[in-house]
Amino acid sequence: MPSRRREPLLRVSAFEVLIGDREVGFAEVGRLSSETDPEAPGGRTNRFAPVVLRRALTGSTELYDWRCNIADGKKDRRDVTIRQLSAPDGTVVNSWKLVGAWPTRWSGPAFNAMANEIAFEELELVFDEVVWLDRTPSIKGG
């Protein structure tokens, strides 16, 4: 009987996020999700759930500024690449590109005088399509 080669299980704790060509550190990336609505008017359409990026708050206003650009009516769409790593400082095992992403929501930290926690900010992104790089063809949004 031939032996089956088992693929290694991939972990979710090591990843990188690039906004455009710039790496930005995040503590958490929400789930990537694609769905198809076969009953949509005009035929099948693909949709993507927004993705939430969460990071420790610093003195940098870059994510807030990006959201302000959008709120002011500026066209400021950027490609966002999410790379899954084999381990911290490891090799890239999977990567996805969110094409034409823009922030639909920015949230700052909640404050509580009784807590001793890290302050976080969140950025919720919507995008035109997701491409699983070097693995599958892109899924067009609708």
Contact 127, 141 (CB under 8 A): yes
Mean pLDDT of the chain: 91
Owner of token pair 């009987």: 1
Report the candidate in 79, 63, 102 with the shortest Cα–Cα distance to residue 19: 79
Q: pLDDT digits over 38-54, tens only?
A: 877 877 778 999 999 99
Nearest-angstrom CA–CA distance, 108 and 123 = 9
Contact 83, 92 (CB under 8 A): yes
Domain ranges of the chain: 15-140
Residues 15-140: name the CATH superfamily.
Answer: Hcp1-like (2.30.110.20)
| 141 pLDDT more than 60 | no
Q: pLDDT digits over 14-23, tens only?
A: 999 999 999 9
DSSP 13: S
